[in-house]
């Protein structure tokens, strides 16, 4: 039987279904795994996505033709039965299951196997062929339990507050920011969120995710609050007047890349917290095993390492070249400034960020 999914210049293409999965060029029918900018782009004729991601897709992409399915709900498109299953990555993230004439393929999008309380936990889906991401697909990537990471963040924040210093924590605005808000001890002090994260916080709260109260900087009338505050800001805010107002602050960066030697220094921050929305090496292996797939196709990340390891373990493994970014490439611009229908701008953004982040991480690792 010929392959159910192939790569075309527009993106991953389901041949009999005649639709694309997370296409990077405008297409008629796009099935979207999640709302990170490298997976959900503007300009498609019609979108299909998991219902819990609907609010974020609409906030980021503006007016689009979107149909949403609950997790597990099936729809048939040109004979291919499509359903979405939780990927545990960010709110609304999904693996796409495609069944056609008895054969099942699953495209993972981005995923994380550790449940975090801000989105539906990852659910293994049995399939014949599993298309997996590989952002952290090297054996060196092994995450600490998130409770320990949040305890470290709390201790850093508490120590700064005791010394009368703000704690500026840089992280991506969609997913990571909400996960941090959900995980930290909000009794330590006030929490101030940059304007890039706040609209996304609202979408999470509307979806029923418990987040502590947050302040916009314009809402802080008593500036002495800054001395005990945790400030959540996107990396793009570093060095701006917005950040400088916090005076003598301590800063930190939260990302899976913080496990890589030199990454904290390159960001020139005081602390690095290794917190990722992607599966680590054991997580990737666990998900692949649980899928029971005999064939695995590896996308964005550490493709050669993963393919070699899977082949050595008796699986039929290959790769798809995609234009998805990794953990560091997810855009952190507020919804209002997302460019509309500008594929050329998006691909140039993509290549410039790829050049700065992934190769550095790879060579250092």
- Site residues, Zn ion (CB under 5 A): 36, 110, 324
CB 89, min distance to Zn ion, A:
6
Residue 47 to residue 262: CA distance in whole angstroms: 40
Contact 110, 91 (CB under 8 A): no
Query: 232 has which bridge partners?
Result: 169, 193
Residue 21 to residue 33: CA distance in whole angstroms: 7
The distance from CA 59 to its chain's CA centroid, rounded to whole angstroms, is: 16
- Residue length of the chain: 365
Closest CA to 256 of 291, 237, 284, 296: 284
Kindly compute the dihedral angle of the four CA atoms of residues 130, 105, 113, 292, in this order, to the nearest 10 degrees. -70
Report the residue number, 92 or 189, with the smaller CB distance to Zn ion: 92
Q: Within a 13 Å sphere around the CA of 222, how many CA atoms are in the beta-carbon half?
A: 6
CB 121, min distance to Zn ion, A:
16
- Tokens 């992607």, residue located: 278
Report the residue number, 161 or 338, with the smaller CB distance to Zn ion: 338
Report the residue number, 91 or 229, with the smaller CB distance to Zn ion: 91
CB 218, min distance to Zn ion, A:
30
CB 312, min distance to Zn ion, A:
25
Buried/exposed code over 261-275 (b: 16+ C-beta within 10 A; e: otherwise) = eebbebbebebbbbb
Report the residue number, 167 or 276, with the smaller CB distance to Zn ion: 276
CB 333, min distance to Zn ion, A:
15
Query: 75 has which bridge partners?
Result: 82
Report the residue number, 179 or 228, with the smaller CB distance to Zn ion: 179
DSSP type of residue 313:
T
CB 38, min distance to Zn ion, A:
6
Report the residue number, 87 or 193, with the smaller CB distance to Zn ion: 87
């Amino acid at each position: 039987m010929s392959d159910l999914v192939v790569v075309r210049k527009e993106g991953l293409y389901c041949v009999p279904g005649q639709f694309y999965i997370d296409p990077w060029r405008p297409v008629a029918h796009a099935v979207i795994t999640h709302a990170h900018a490298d997976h959900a782009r503007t300009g498609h004729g019609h979108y299909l996505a998991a219902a819990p991601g609907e609010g974020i897709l609409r906030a980021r992409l503006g007016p689009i033709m979107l149909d949403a399915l609950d997790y597990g709900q099936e729809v048939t498109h040109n004979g291919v039965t499509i359903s979405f299953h939780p990927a545990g990555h960010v709110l609304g993230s999904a693996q796409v299951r495609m069944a056609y004439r008895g054969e099942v393929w699953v495209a993972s999008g981005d995923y994380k196997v550790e449940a975090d309380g801000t989105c539906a936990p990852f659910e293994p889906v049995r399939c014949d062929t599993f298309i997996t991401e590989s952002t952290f697909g090297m054996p060196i990537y092994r995450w600490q339990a998130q409770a320990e990471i949040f305890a470290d963040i709390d201790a850093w924040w508490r120590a700064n507050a005791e010394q009368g210093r703000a704690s500026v924590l840089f992280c991506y605005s969609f997913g990571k920011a909400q996960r941090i808000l959900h995980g930290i001890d909000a009794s330590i002090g006030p929490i101030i969120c940059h304007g890039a994260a706040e609209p996304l916080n609202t979408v999470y709260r509307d979806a029923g995710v418990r987040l502590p109260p947050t302040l916009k900087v314009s809402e802080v009338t008593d500036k002495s609050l800054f001395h005990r505050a945790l400030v959540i800001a996107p990396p793009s805010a570093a060095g701006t007047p917005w950040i400088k107002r916090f005076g003598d602050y301590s800063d930190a960066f939260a990302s899976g890349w913080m496990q890589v030697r030199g990454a904290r220094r390159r960001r020139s921050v005081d602390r690095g917290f290794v917190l990722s929305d992607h599966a680590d090496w054991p997580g990737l292996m666990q998900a692949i095993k649980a899928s029971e797939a005999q064939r695995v196709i590896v996308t964005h990340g550490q493709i050669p390492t993963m393919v070699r390891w899977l082949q050595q373990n008796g699986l039929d493994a290959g790769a798809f070249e995609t234009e998805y970014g990794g953990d560091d490439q997810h855009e952190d611009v507020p919804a209002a400034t997302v460019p509309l229908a500008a594929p050329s701008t998006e691909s140039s953004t993509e290549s410039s960020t790829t050049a700065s982040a992934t190769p550095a991480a790879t060579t250092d690792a």
